[in-house]
Chains A and B, each alone.
Chain A
Amino acid sequence: MQIFNIVIAGVGGQGVLMASKVLAESALASNMDVKQNEVHGMAQRGGSVISFVRIGEQVHSPVVMPGSADMLISFEPLEALRYIHFLKPGGRLVYNKVSINPSTVAAGMAVYPGDVEQQIKAICPNSHGIDALAIAREAGNGKAVNMVMVGTVMKHLPLDEKIISQVVEQLSQGKAAEVNSRALAGGAAA
């Protein structure tokens, strides 16, 4: 099997790392080789975050090269545009339409582009935006945006949806397990 390259992007604090963990654990539970890599350290401080998940029979490098991602999952529209060049031709982009101001915009030093979604569409026709925050709130917690996003892309991954659901339950504790499962299902239905 060809290696399936996934890039997950977002803003520090949105749960990019947890979403990456779900996909990596699901690949392991499916008896596939997997490497997952992100650069963190300052990730919780509102900075741009990017994570790679590579799934296949044998995976060497933990890094996805620009122009080679089968899928880009972005938790924020501007971050989708920032990392859209990682997609290979024909790659799929799914993004959360709810924007978060970068500090540069918040400080009045830059302007959040008004046409992010149009730019995304022009570069990647195979793109799909959803309101993940609304779905997460409906599931019981606005912080479950990450699980909504995983739910949205589930059917396009080389992984069994049931295995992903089980992994989400295993990785969540207490009340969060119910919320996350609902968020996953909500994303899948979006």
Chain B
Amino acid sequence: MKKIISGNEAIALGFGDFGGVFASGYPGTPSTETLEEVARLGQVYCEWAPNEKVALESAIGGSIAGGRSLSTMKHVGVNVAADALLTLTYTGVNAGLILMVSDDPGMHSSQNEQDSRNYAKFAKVPMLDPANSQEAYDMVRAGFEISEQFDTPVMLRTTTRISHAKGVVVPQEKIAAQVGEWEKNVPKYVMLPNFAKLKHVEVEARLLKLQEYAETTPLNRIEMRDPEVGFITSGVTYQHVLEAYPNASILKLGMSHPLPEKKIREFAGSVKRLVIAEEMDAIFEEQIRAMGIAVEIGKNKLPLCGEINADILQAAVSGSSAKPVSPVAGLPMRPPVFCPSCAHRGLFTILSKLKCFVSGDIGCYTLGALPPMNAMHSVIDMGASISAAHGMAKVNVIAGRDEKPVAVIGDSTFFHSGMTGLMSMAYNGGNALVIIMDNRTTGMTGGQENPGTGETLQGMPVRQVDMVPLVKALGIDNVAELNTYDLKETEAAIKKALATPGPYVLIDKNPCILRYKIRKPAMNVDQEKCTGCRACLKVACMALGLNADGDDKKQKVRVDPNVCNGCGVCKQMCKFDAMHELEGENNANL
């Protein structure tokens, strides 16, 4: 039966339909829904790993043990898993192994715009590049077949507009999951130098065979129409080309590595103008130019940064900028913000007040960097809050500065790669305050389970990792709990920690209100008492706003009861006792 599903859901469906046995991933936009959907479909075992390296290594184990395996992650996750990937390419697989990676051109929800096709080249593994949900589904089957036929991991790469775009999918006949033998094979799986040297030769030979395969596979197809302009393209950019130039000829690469050189020559020879339409890096273009093929339009006209769309293609190829439409100027921005009653709000209100240098991390709390908080001053990658704060503290000593840096990190990010940094800080006699916002979920990606949640991706109740003994075991003596809903207590605790020499860890255990659906009665502002001093607005809550429609026409604060979730952090900022719980029947939250 036809379905309308996203690329992520299609890959999940394909995994179940094409004999998938084991899946492990780490949440990361835009890849997250894939494993969530595998879990929802309930046909195949799947789990969240604490990080992408563990996820891929677990999938490697699954493959060695004979089960078709899948590992899912966002583009930056492959950096974490790269250590495994770059040697996995030598060992190859037993049962088929797919590494699904989601790139984020345009950086809708990412800290960089890296192009994962570089990893396919780097690791010398085949990469599939679906252009819609149906292809995403079909390519799971193709991916397992290629993986097993060529004894190689296969990268299945999506971009945001494939992962999150829904299209029609017609499912194929199912292939029943079969688990193969679990065999000992030292030269294949033990990458000691002597074995690895032989394996490297095999990898190079495999790549040549894959090139031959790329010439004949229907995954790469020439669509000859008007020979005036020919596009070489892949992924969602193929759809934008069809949108802008429905009559143009296209070489559509469903397999974006390795490239089919003969097919590319044939196509280039049959069109007058050759355009290489690819988002982000000039991966195809560099290789095609190296073949000595004349390219008229590539990155000379198309952007290296951000997404490509039909208008951008038309401007580059036809020189016509389509309809000049510009948005209304000067509107107030609406950036994402801490949810009403989020526990992060109180913490950043105090960090902003104390003007600490905050070494931040990847998660909802990264929003603490935005105005009016302005209370996060570096964010690099998962776990860097702690290790970077450690480096800052060491240089501060050398510089004679006595300021102690503050690292802020969430529970999931701490489990991912904060623990090693904290251990280093303890081991190396560091001097930073680490605040762990332990809200018992992976928040920014939508509330996924992690080792602190108490349940698995498939809903199995498990023991929660207990943060305080864990931190102590890593070598930290000064560990205290924190309640960021209490501003006075939070300020006192942070001041004490900053005044105490050496590593110090504060842990807030308030749960994510979104994940755990926590509702509290809404607040109300007494318009008689409010002086319009704006002290409460410093907490940056979208439930608050200034209005000037009272009798005296003075700007005063109002609470939107539809938005407020009653945490009372704004109330603690008010010096005039103007804020109280909204009573009785007017309170929709009760």
Contact = CB atoms under 8 A, between A and B. Distances in A.
Report if A and B associate in a common complex: yes
Interface in B524-552: 534, 537-538, 540-546
A142 B562 contact: yes
Contacts of A24: 4, 166
A177 to B, nearest CB: 20
Given A41-B108, A61-B239, A85 B545 contact: no
Contact of B560 (A78, A82, A101): A101
Contact of B540 (A41, A103, A110): A103
A62 B236 contact: yes
Contacts, number: 183
Contacts of A21: 166
A67 B335 contact: no
Contacts of B160: 39
Interface in A71-88: 78-79, 81-86
B332 A102 contact: yes
Given A36-B166, A42-B444, A67-B325, A107 B540 contact: yes
A37 B163 CA distance: 9
B332 A12 contact: no
Most buried by A among B109, B167, B242, B335: B167
Nearest to B558: A101
B303 to A, nearest CB: 15
B328 interface: yes
B310 interface: yes
Contact of A65 (B311, B331, B540, B545): B311
Most buried by B among A33, A40, A83, A133: A40
B446 interface: yes
B473 interface: no
A79 B327 CA distance: 11
Interface residues of B, number: 62
A45 B333 contact: no
B168 A28 contact: yes
Contacts of B537: 106-108
Contacts of B327: 66, 82-85
Contacts of B333: 102, 104, 110
A10 B312 CA distance: 26
B307 to A, nearest CB: 8
A119 B514 CA distance: 35
A42 B165 contact: no
Contacts of A112: 332, 545
A176 interface: no
Contact of B334 (A68, A79, A113): A79
A119 B109 CA distance: 31
B369 to A, nearest CB: 13
A77 to B, nearest CB: 11
What are the nearest 5 A-B pairs in CB distance? A41-B109, A41-B29, A47-B336, A62-B165, A110-B332
